């Protein structure tokens, strides 16, 4: 598998798992295929639950707005991944770096390594603030808890979708109209 220079696919995969959690292990594996991973994972009975744990830890990084705290949580996650980087050229993919332990190909452990390093690449190359929850959901009573991975050129994506951006715009408009200061 490749981690492109920006770590983009790994972060988008983590967001997809967080936003739309698969109901079983096969669903998680299918999601890794969707995002371009090609490897086979060793199967263990706790895979589904343990992968959920990895995603929950990753969501703490998403929710840590302060850069120092965000870095600390991410460093913790990378430390648990335990591997040193290795050059590999399996499957005619060309030489690339793996950040995971070659001896451990369990689904949760590989995803922890790929997602944590991918997130570190994303935040350091694109910008430390380019990972958040959808801004629409930050208004009381709004149900959106989706993750926003900002890979836009200008780095100003705040909403997970056009629908959420529109809902927030309507709210702002109503707030202005009912404001006594108009």
- Tell me which residues touch Zn ion (CB under 5 A): 1, 134, 136, 144, 146, 160, 164
Q: Could you tell me the smallest distance in angstroms from the CB atom of residue 90 to Zn ion? A: 6
Q: Could you tell me the smallest distance in angstroms from the CB atom of residue 111 to Zn ion? A: 14
Q: Cα separations (Å) of 94 from 113, 129, 137?
A: 20, 32, 42
Burial 1-32 (b: 16+ CB within 10 A, else e): bebeebbbbbbbbbbbbbeeebeebeebbebb
Radius of gyration of the chain (CA): 18
Q: Could you tell me the smallest distance in angstroms from the CB atom of residue 86 to Zn ion? A: 10
CB closer to Zn ion out of 1 and 123 = 1
Q: Could you tell me the smallest distance in angstroms from the CB atom of residue 14 to Zn ion? A: 17
CB closer to Zn ion out of 1 and 14 = 1
The DSSP 8-state label assigned to residue 42 in this structure reads B
| Token couple for 87 | 């050059």
CB closer to Zn ion out of 46 and 97 = 97
For 84, residues 6+ apart whose C-beta sits below 8 A from its C-beta are none
Q: Could you tell me the smallest distance in angstroms from the CB atom of residue 24 to Zn ion? A: 25
CB closer to Zn ion out of 10 and 48 = 10
CB closer to Zn ion out of 3 and 120 = 3
């Amino acid at each position: 598998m490749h981690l492109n220079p920006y770590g983009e696919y790994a972060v988008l995969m983590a967001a997809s798992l967080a936003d739309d959690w698969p109901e079983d292990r096969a669903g998680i594996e299918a999601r890794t295929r969707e995002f371009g991973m090609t490897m086979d994972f060793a199967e263990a009975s706790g895979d589904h639950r343990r992968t959920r744990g990895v995603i929950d830890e990753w969501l703490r990084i998403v929710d840590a707005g302060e850069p120092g705290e965000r870095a600390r949580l991410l460093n913790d996650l990378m430390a648990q991944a335990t591997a040193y980087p290795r050059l590999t050229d399996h499957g005619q993919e060309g030489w690339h770096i793996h950040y995971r332990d070659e001896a451990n190909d369990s689904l949760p452990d590989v995803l922890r390594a790929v997602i944590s390093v991918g997130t570190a690449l994303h935040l350091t190359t694109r910008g430390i603030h380019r990972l958040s929850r959808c801004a629409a959901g930050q208004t009381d009573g709004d149900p959106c808890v989706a993750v926003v991975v900002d890979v836009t050129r200008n780095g100003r994506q705040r909403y997970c979708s056009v629908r959420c951006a529109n809902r927030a715009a309507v709210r702002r408009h109503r707030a202005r109209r009912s404001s006594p200061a108009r």
